[in-house]
Amino acid sequence: MEVEVKLRLENAEAHRMVTTSLAPFHIITHHQENLFFDGVAEELSSRHVVLQIRFYNDNARCVVSLKAKVVLVNNVSRVKEDEGDLDPKVGRDCVAEPGKLDLVVESRVLRRMKEEFGVVDEKGYVGLGGFKNVRSVYEWKDLKLEVDETGFGFGTLYEIECESSSPEKAKQLLEEFLKENGIAYSQTRSDGFRQDLRLSSVSFRMNLYFNCCFQSPELICCPRVRVPSATCAFEVN
């Protein structure tokens, strides 16, 4: 079970203040590309499961992950996650032709798709779209902090998060840091992100439910319309 504390930064200035204050503790910055997939028959989304392929710094690294049963309460996210590395070239081929995911026998995560969720044969997968973000990583007070900047056509979203076995203590430290430095932040909520989308001029259907996609508030801009009744989906006009 992955447990993370997540706080939404209000604007670009708040993001700048965070990265400036944490500069002495900077470890690395990742340019990430995140793509999501479902089974053609909604084998994953109907069970509140998300399959994700993430590329780091173009094709320097590729990770495939399965995320399930996400719960976000009081800025603490809990999610069951299984992940493993994938050859970046294989990952790119699967993005171009999702059916090839069924052929990647060396990936434990993708084998689970077939064995546990029944996603089979070359027509078993469909791409859902994705997003890009810049993630700056810091080591601060025994915490590994990740500061995200995610761009969309209507604007940019910012967030700070950290994984911790003591989430309440980590949340307290983060909030004290933000308040002491006069940095504007708010509670991370899926409905808050929904309001941002409604205010935009972009028109598209969000087709992955929030609980499974809420690894961070950068949700999926997805053209698919098939939405299981168990999901929380909406259309922006």
Parse the chain into domains and list their residue ranges.
Answer: 2-236
Considering the segment(s) 2-236 as one domain, its CATH architecture is: Beta Barrel (2.40)
- Cα R_g (the chain), whole angstroms: 18
Q: Alpha-carbon distance 154 to 68, whole Å?
A: 29
Note whether 162 and 170 are within 8 A (CB).
yes
Note whether 141 and 157 are within 8 A (CB).
no
Note whether 220 and 207 are within 8 A (CB).
yes
Residue that wins the pLDDT comparison between 142 and 210: 142
- pLDDT of 139 above 80: yes
Residue % of the chain over a pLDDT of 90: 48
Closest CA to 226 of 35, 40, 99: 40
Cβ neighbours of residue 56 closer than 8 Å, sequence gap 6 or more: 30, 31, 32, 62, 63
Q: Which two tokens stand for residue 170?
A: 């980590």
pLDDT-derived band at 68, boundaries 50, 70, 90: confident
Q: What is the pLDDT of residues 7-26, one digit of tens each?
A: 999 999 999 999 999 999 99
Q: Alpha-carbon distance 126 to 93, whole Å?
A: 13
Q: What is the pLDDT of residues 194-221, one digit of tens each?
A: 434 333 322 232 333 333 444 333 343 4
Beta strand pairing status for 76-85 and 49-56? unpaired
Per-residue confidence (pLDDT) for residue 81, from 0 to 100: 84
Beta strand pairing status for 204-206 and 49-56? unpaired
Question: What type of residue is 164?
Answer: S
Q: Which two tokens stand for residue 43?
A: 């084998």
Q: Alpha-carbon distance 210 to 193, whole Å?
A: 10
Provide mean pLDDT across the span 156-175. Answer: 93
Note whether 77 and 163 are within 8 A (CB).
no
Beta strand pairing status for 2-9 and 125-140? unpaired
Q: Which two tokens stand for residue 226?
A: 């098939």
Cβ neighbours of residue 218 closer than 8 Å, sequence gap 6 or more: 34, 131, 133, 148, 150, 152, 157, 159
Provide mean pLDDT across the span 125-137. Answer: 91
pLDDT-derived band at 226, boundaries 50, 70, 90: very low
Other CB atoms closer than 10 Å to residue 103's CB: what's the count? 13
Average pLDDT, the chain: 79
Residue that wins the pLDDT comparison between 71 and 150: 150
Q: Which two tokens stand for residue 80?
A: 């069951």
Q: Tell me which H or E stretch contains 116.
A: helix 108-117
Provide mean pLDDT across the span 35-39. Answer: 91
Q: CA angle, corner 69, sides to 216 and 42, nearest 5?
A: 95
